[in-house]
Every structure is written in C-alpha cells, then in structure tokens.
C-alpha cells in the first residue's frame, strides 16, 4: 500500500464503502451489540451513500468509536489484516483522511 495516496482512497468509493463495513462489523463483533444495531446502522448508511464525502463522514465516526472503545493493539492489527486482504490501507493511513 506504500504507493497509495489519500486521493486514491478518497476517490475509490468501493474501498471506502468496504472499509466502513469492515470497521462496523469489527466493532459490533467485539462489543455487546446483541441486535446488531450498531453494525446495521453503519452498514445501511454505507450501502446507500452515493459519494466519497458521505463515506468519509461514516469512516471518521467509526474511527472515533474505535478510539473511544479503546481496542488493544492486537485487535487493531486483526482489523488491519482484514483491510490488507481487501486491498484497503491500514488504520494508520485511514485515520489521516
């Protein structure tokens, strides 16, 4: 991913959408979300988003949630592994968007 730029990512709506969905699922899977309300809210919003700006708002909200919840470094590395599989830059890169 070293040759990926912020512009590349912000213009790739599919990657942004996948990143939002992966983070929402990760958070939901690792917190008490018995009815998947958290996951459903973000995934639904990601699916209907029509612009990179809408997806970036969702991504930023999810990044805030990750920070507030305080996941361990090991848990965040797992998420980065999912990103790598999907061709998405790591969290450290996404945080800067």
Let me know: does 46 contact 20? Beta carbons within 8 Å: yes
The pLDDT, as a whole number, for residue 62 is: 96
Is residue 2 scored above 60 in pLDDT?
A: no
| Residue given tokens 């018995």 in the structure block | 34
Domain edges within the chain: 6-94
Q: Which pLDDT value is given to residue 38? A: 86
Q: What is the pLDDT of residues 41-93, one digit of tens each?
A: 999 999 999 999 999 999 999 999 999 999 999 999 999 999 999 999 999 99
Token pair in block for residue 14: 């599919």
8, 95 contact by CB (below 8 A): no
pLDDT at 1 over 50: no
pLDDT band (50, 70, 90) for residue 32: confident
| 81 close to 1: Cβ distance less than 8 angstroms | no
């Amino acid at each position: 991913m070293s040759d990926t730029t912020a512009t590349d990512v912000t213009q790739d709506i599919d990657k942004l959408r996948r990143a939002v969905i992966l983070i929402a699922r990760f958070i939901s899977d690792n917190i008490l979300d018995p009815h998947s309300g958290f996951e459903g809210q973000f995934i639904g919003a990601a699916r209907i988003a029509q612009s990179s700006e809408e997806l970036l708002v969702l991504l930023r909200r999810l990044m805030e949630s990750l920070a507030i919840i305080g996941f361990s470094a090991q848990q965040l590395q797992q998420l980065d592994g999912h990103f790598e599989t999907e061709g998405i830059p790591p969290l450290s890169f996404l945080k800067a968007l």
